[in-house]
Amino acid sequence: MFKSKYKEGSLGGELFNGMFYTALAKYSGIVINLLITAVLARILSPSDFGIIAIATIVINFFSTLTSAGIAPAIVQNKTLSYEDLTSINTLVIILSFISTGAFVCLIPLIVSFYDNSSLLSNLLYILSISILTAISTIVPNALLMKEKRFKFIAIRTFLVQVTMGGISIILAYKGFGAYSLLVNPVLGNIILLIINFRAYPIGVSFKGGGRNIRKIFSFSIYQMLFNLMYMIYRNVDKILIGKVFSVQTLGYYEKSYRLMMLPLDNISNVMGPVLHPVLSNYQSDKDFLWKSYLKILSLLSEIGCFANVVIYFSSGAIINIIYGSQWHDAIPYFQILSLSIGVQCMQAPVGAILQSINRVKGLFFASIIITLLVLSSLGVGLYYSSMIIFCWCLVISFTISFGVYQLFLLYFFNKSPVDIIRSISKPFISNTVLFLLLSNFSNDYLMPMDFKHLLVFVVAILFYQGIVYKLGFMEMTKNLIKSTTQK
């Protein structure tokens, strides 16, 4: 039985336990969702998945717009009383009904944009329930995070995913079509709402009114604005490709982008929910937070830089194994986009760090600069009407964005860039050498799909990484392994 070497209640112990249970829920969820999707894909048509994708994007955007970053604000503020929380909860519940009503009124307009699809209309009306439940559960869910009940959250999430997935498969076999895909976002959210309120009962009260809301308003409004900027610069590329190039090109690109984001989203979704609740307890000790950030940055640079090289040189194998040979045209897009994995991995904890020191306003301003940077870079790619240049421009903009976030961190912590350079230098050097070594092989050797060549490639990579590990170029990874295996 593995356990952490950290003492219970320490920062290391809290981070270890939080990330362990969050990662367990996240990655088991990925496996479950892949299995469920594999079954549903053999029952439902591509159009069923497509229509749900459109509806989900609309719902997610609307939920982000209306939730106003309230959850992180509750986690960050340690002075909130029960009276404050009941007032905030009252506001959130009222907001959920107003938002749901506004969304229902907009459904005819949304449907008209997609050729008045009656199926989409029906799905959106049903999915509007998820807006009501998702917003209503913000306060109890935030309080669970604030109390660092990561094990409970992981078990809750896992059980709901398995149950909802099973119901979806049964409904799909019964001929419910696209409606079977509504089980998790609708019924799943209702169950989560009930579980959250039972785990952390919080009442409603109008006592205090606006005075209580003002305690979190500044934090939450800038968090919401940051979320909007983030959604813009993460989705504008797909909108532009669909408009300027073709739907087929967008399909190849979207598959490549989704694969590239898979490790990034998983790292962010594991670290984000844990880092902020834990580090917010040390918001007055900036030196301590800075040292913690450098350790996290060093670990992520070891993981991200290595993933950069491996995925770049095995991009053909990955595309063909996961999507099939018919997606061969997606390989160059995926190969280029994979070069941004390292910097985006290292960028993952920035939001939680700035939230922890109450610099969400700075996070928002950084996101404005990055959004403008991404738009400008993509404009260059569109000017040359080349998807290859378009992908390179996106990678360059992501790389510069990492630098922008680091400059904001250096400013707020009043630290030297030497600290950051020192934290990422060893992984950068060792993986640059690996990249140059692999570059001496032709793509024809590295890309074949037969098991023999793939095995040779994997063994060679692991052998090199073992040498790097022994030479001390992966200090944080070594420490992490020791902490998880020490009895």
By residue range, what is the domain housing residue 388?
237-487
Domain assignment present for residue 101? The answer is yes
Q: In this structure, which amino acid lies at residue 69?
A: G
* DSSP-assigned states of every residue in 304-357: HHHHHHHHHHTHHHHHHHHT-GGGGGGHHHHHHHGGGHHHHHHHTTHHHHHHHT
DSSP element (H, E) containing 256: helix 247-279
CA angle 96, 199, 227 (to 5 degrees): 40
With a pLDDT cut of 70, the percent of the chain lying above it is 71
Is residue 409 predicted with pLDDT exceeding 90? yes
With respect to residue 318, please indicate whether it lies within any of the assigned structural domains: yes
- Each residue of 164-192: pLDDT tens digit? 888 888 888 888 877 887 888 889 889 99
The H or E element spanning position 255 is helix 247-279
Task: Classify 440 as helix, strand or coil.
Answer: coil
What share of the chain in percent tops pLDDT 90?
11
Task: Tell me the per-residue pLDDT of 69-89, one tens digit each, with 9 for 90 and over.
Answer: 787 778 777 778 888 888 888
CA-to-CA separations, 219 to 65, 226, 349, 356, 390, in angstroms, rounded: 15, 11, 18, 11, 35
**Structure tokens belonging to residue 482:** 């020791």
For residues 334 and 469, give the distance between their C-alpha atoms in angstroms, rounded to a whole number: 28
For 303-344, the pLDDT digits (tens) are: 888 888 888 888 887 777 766 666 778 888 989 999 998 898
Confidence bin at 35 (pLDDT 50/70/90): low
Q: What is the mean pLDDT of residues 390-418?
A: 93
Residue whose C-alpha is closest to residue 354's, from 405, 423, 299, 301: 405
| Domain stop point among 208, 227, 254 | 208
Note the pLDDT tens digit of each residue in 268-280. Answer: 666 666 677 777 7
d(CA 256, CA 456): 25
Statement: residue 91 has pLDDT above 70 = yes
Looking at the structure, do residues 204 and 250 belong to the same domain, yes or no? Answer: no
Task: For residues 87 and 179, state if they share a domain.
Answer: yes
Say which residue, 138 or 458, is predicted with more confidence: 138
**Residue 230 in domain:** no
pLDDT at 465 over 80: no
Tally: H helices and E strands in the chain: 21, 0
Does the structure show a pLDDT above 80 at 292? Answer: yes
Residue 448 pLDDT > 50, yes or no?
no
Rounded distance between C-alpha atoms, residue 132 and residue 144, angstroms: 20
Whether the Cβ atoms of residue 297 and residue 353 lie closer than 8 Å to each other: no
Please indicate, yes or no, if residue 216 is contained in any of the structural domains: no
The answer to whether position 231 is within a domain reads no
**Cβ neighbours of residue 322 closer than 8 Å, sequence gap 6 or more:** 259
Q: Degrees (nearest 5) of the Cα angle 78, 411, 354?
A: 30
Token pair 């109008």 is found at 206
> What mean pLDDT do residues 1-28 have?
55
Residue 142 pLDDT > 80, yes or no?
A: yes
Query: Which of residues 144 and 324 earns the better pLDDT score?
Result: 144
What is the average pLDDT score of the chain? Answer: 77
Looking at the fold, whether 327 and 179 belong to one and the same domain comes out as no
453 falls within a domain: yes
State mean pLDDT over 30-40: 61
Assigned domain for 418 exists: yes
